[in-house]
Structure 1
Amino acid sequence: MPPRRQRRPSESPALIAFGRQMRRMREAKGVKQETIAHITQVSGPQVSKIENGKKRATRSFVEIVDDHLEGDGALINLWEDLNKNGHPVPIWFDWPQIEADAVMLICWQHSVIPGLAQTPEYALAIVHGNQETADVRINRQTILTRDDERGPAIVLFLIEEQVLYHQVGTHETMRKQLEHLIEISRMPNVTVQVVLSRGDHDGNMGAFVLATMEDRNEIAYVETAIRSITTDDPADLSVLARTLLQLRSQALTQEMSCELIRKVAEERWT
């Protein structure tokens, strides 16, 4: 029986409270949303989402807005109250939207193929046959071929070597999955690199995705043994940056990675 799917609230009181306060301060000063968008280099629709509680603001955004509205730190203090211990509240709320809005994503996985690179069959096996969940995961992949003013997201997949040998589903599922990795690596906006299994490195602590947004801010999604968190805390991002340097130093080039993936597909899964 597939695991019971937990329903998540459709809105966050914390984000709504922040958005309302920001709107009050902006309107009290007679400042238009377009002005906020201009000074923060964030699109008008994104500013609207922040004020409506549908998107979390980054700290840099809040600092610029607070300064322009002469908030004397009031908006920053509210943001900090809603972001305890460097982790946004709620921790689950905004990642799907962050991923969809990102202009660049770096995905590190040490146990399975990253969701954005999975085939439908592989995704279905990962979620134990839950078709609805698998469909949602596959639909997220539209960012690879996004056709709007931003263009498709630039994506780097860093995959631990052992993932290629870890069976998910049938042999055919694995062979098609590895062939799919080679296929998407040919896309101009996608890079696939295999990280060689060479002892301990910080990447063993957990998988993560680092998103770079249109305003060049970075936000990370980190999987832990207890739960996944979304964070833009500078200390967290610094740790991930060091981890990425280490991982890239142990990674094969894309050409060599594809050669290894093809070899494993033919010798292990055919």
Structure 2
Amino acid sequence: MATSASPTIRARRLRRELRRLRDQRGLTVDEVARMVGWHRAKVIRIEQGHSGISADGLRKLLDLYEASAEEQGTLTALARQARQKGWWSAYGDVLPDDYVGFEAEAAAISTFQSLYVPGLLQTEEYARAIIHAGRTMADLDEVARVIAARQARKVLLARDVPPRLWIVLDEAAVRRHVGGPKVMAAQVARIVQACQMPAVEVQVLPFSAGAHASMGGAFTILDYAEPALDPTIVYVDNDTNTMLLETGEHVSRYRLAFDHLRAKALDPDQSADFLATVAAELQP
């Protein structure tokens, strides 16, 4: 299955290019707003991704920034692609942030998970148990839609060229009996199976490793095929908040943390053996 362009990534690239052109012209947000007849808040919302931009609005900015014919063609195409709908738009009610759109075009996904198995490797029954625990007031239809969205995400791993997926998994994530021993046995077996996939590496961070570089919780680093156009993003989430971090300082901090976690974890072969042992212990 081929990779398709992500509207979320195209929208991010568009707003970065608009900011670059504004800086290149030496214009402030206030100056741009005055020259095109907008409120300054509109310029800020467009550059920060909180608001889209119409074809007419884009033409006004490109004319103001004196964009070349090539730049105008490129950015007009980006805007058109950004207005398209990704498959995840159909699940907007149960996918509350843009993460899936950013994940969709990643060339490499590096993630540390401290409490549960990452979504791309979850079995349906494990995912159902997680959702029921976290959405105590959800009705059956909502739970079904969350499950469907999570299953749809897994198309990433079926691509002709899948993203490189590197997971560091805290031992707690495989020791906790989510859904009961039977569900957990199937889930751990699924991780063992994933360890055989060429694009997937799994390392277990054992309890014996003690304190580590991400005691604060889980995070994911998303790298792209063209980093000059699409710089790395770090995604940090918990039960009450999600953050997408893009600054070089944040990215360097989390990349260093991930390197430390990999160094403390069991190597991939040892991890596969460890997981196989856990799966066997869960069998009746």
Identical counterparts, % of pairs: 24
TM-score normalised by the chain length of structure 2: 0.67
Matched, 1:223 2:237: yes
1:107 partner letter: T
Give the C-alpha shift of residue 170 in structure 1: 2.0
Q: Report what 1:137 is aligned to.
A: 150
Give the C-alpha shift of residue 203 in structure 1: 1.5
The 10-residue stretch of structure 1 (207-216 or 129-138) with the greater mean CA deviation from structure 2: 129-138
CA shift digits 1:218-250 (9 cap, x unpaired): 111101463011121222112201211210111
Secondary structure of 1:203 counterpart? coil
Structure 2 gaps of 5+ residues are: 1-10, 12-44, 87-95, 133-139
CA shift digits 1:7-34 (9 cap, x unpaired): xxxx997241498755533366452468
Alignment of 1:1-270 (within 5 A): 14-17=50-53, 22-26=58-62, 29=67, 31-32=69-70, 36=74, 48-50=80-82, 52=83, 93-128=97-132, 130-147=143-160, 151-197=161-207, 198-216=209-227, 217-224=231-238, 226-270=240-284
Give the aligned length.
Answer: 214
CA distance in 2, matches of 1:193, 1:105: 14
Give the C-alpha shift of residue 35 in structure 1: 5.8
Q: Report what 1:81 is aligned to.
A: none
* Cα separation, partners in 2 of 1:210 and 1:22, compared to 1, 3 Å: farther
Give the C-alpha shift of residue 54 in structure 1: 7.5
Structure 1 gaps of 5+ residues are: 1-10, 38-43, 56-91
* Cα separation, partners in 2 of 1:207 and 1:22, compared to 1, 3 Å: farther
* Cα separation, partners in 2 of 1:122 and 1:111, compared to 1, 3 Å: same
TM-score normalised by the chain length of structure 1: 0.70
RMSD of aligned Cα (Å):
2.9
2:188 partner letter: L
Give the C-alpha shift of residue 142 in structure 1: 0.9
Give the C-alpha shift of residue 268 in structure 1: 3.6
CA distance in 2, matches of 1:156, 1:46: 30
Q: Report what 2:90 is aligned to.
A: none
CA distance in 2, matches of 1:242, 1:100: 24
Q: Report what 1:85 is aligned to.
A: none
CA shift digits 1:201-232 (9 cap, x unpaired): 23121111111012122111101463011121
